């Protein structure tokens, strides 16, 4: 029996949740301070819906993620659209 060596190939982990394209079409709710910090440092943050990303675009140009909105409105102090984005 012999051992075969496979050629090296690039391996990229799949870090998306569900359909990656859907998350990119929405603005997401996350802690305002963490969003600002992430934009400055480039450190990824997690939205209420679970999406992990580095904010880099104007959220006002996109509709709010329905999953983030539903979670936010279910929070004890939630229900005020526009806060926490």
Q: What is the 3-state secondary structure (H, E, C) of 34-81?
A: HHHHHHHHCCCEECCCCCEECCCCCHHHCCECHHHHHHHHHCCCCCCC
Span 59-72, pLDDT tens digits = 999 999 999 999 99
Can you give the pLDDT at residue 8? 61
Inter-residue contact 56 to 73 (CB < 8 Å): no
Distance, CA of 63 to CA of 61 (rounded, Å): 7
The predicted model gives 11-34 an average pLDDT of 67
Can you give the pLDDT at residue 7? 62
């Amino acid at each position: 029996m012999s051992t075969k060596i496979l050629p090296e190939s690039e391996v990229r982990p799949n870090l998306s949740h569900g359909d990656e394209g859907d998350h990119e079409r929405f603005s997401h709710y996350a802690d305002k301070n963490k969003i600002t910090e992430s934009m400055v440092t480039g450190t990824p943050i997690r939205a209420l819906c679970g999406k992990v990303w580095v904010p880099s675009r104007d959220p006002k140009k996109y509709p709010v993620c329905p999953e983030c909105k539903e979670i936010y409105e279910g929070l004890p102090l939630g229900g005020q659209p526009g806060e926490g984005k």
